[in-house]
């Protein structure tokens, strides 16, 4: 069921930070990211006013990821900078913070 009510205004803040670092002389590469979104009046969002309790938005959301990589240069044509890359990536997202009950 959809509602046609006009939702009032709300404030939001977004913080996003990224970093990258390549360790000199090793081929190792580190990357990371963190993001957080804060809603001033989450009750005014359309998702919280559509009579569907499974898609409500809380006062904040956040997520982060990290990656470790190793660049393997090619032995056959090093002048072309070809090679492979082995990496591991971890990502976490919290889109339903503690201020909301879990959906049924």
Q: Tell me the pLDDT tens digit for each residue of 70-103.
A: 988 777 766 666 677 888 999 998 876 666 655 5
List, in order, residues 6 or more apart from 21 with CB less than 8 Å away: 29, 30, 31
- The radius of gyration of the chain from alpha carbons, rounded to an integer in Å, stands at 21
Q: Tell me the pLDDT tens digit for each residue of 5-40.
A: 555 566 778 899 999 999 888 889 999 999 998 877
CB hemisphere CA count around 70 (13 angstroms): 4
Instruction: Provide the pLDDT confidence category of residue 1 given band limits of 50, 70 and 90.
Output: very low
pLDDT computed for residue 73 by the predictor:
74
Task: Quote the CA–CA distance of 41 and 14 in Å, as a whole number.
Answer: 14
Residue range 51-75: average pLDDT? 80
Going from N- to C-terminal start, the domains of the chain cover: 12-94
What pTM does this model have?
0.64
What are the Cα distances from residue 78, in Å, to 44, 74, 87? 58, 6, 21
pLDDT of residue 41 exceeding 80: no
């Amino acid at each position: 069921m959809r509602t046609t009510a006009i939702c009032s205004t709300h404030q939001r803040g977004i913080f996003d930070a990224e970093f990258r670092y390549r360790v000199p002389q090793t081929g190792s590469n580190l990357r990371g990211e963190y993001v957080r979104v804060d809603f001033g009046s989450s009750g005014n969002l359309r998702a919280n006013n559509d009579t569907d309790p499974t898609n409500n938005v809380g006062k904040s959301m956040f997520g982060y990821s990290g990656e470790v990589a190793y660049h393997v240069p090619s032995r056959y044509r090093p002048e072309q900078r070809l090679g492979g890359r082995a990496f591991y990536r971890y990502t976490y997202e919290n889109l339903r913070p503690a201020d909301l009950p879990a959906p049924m």
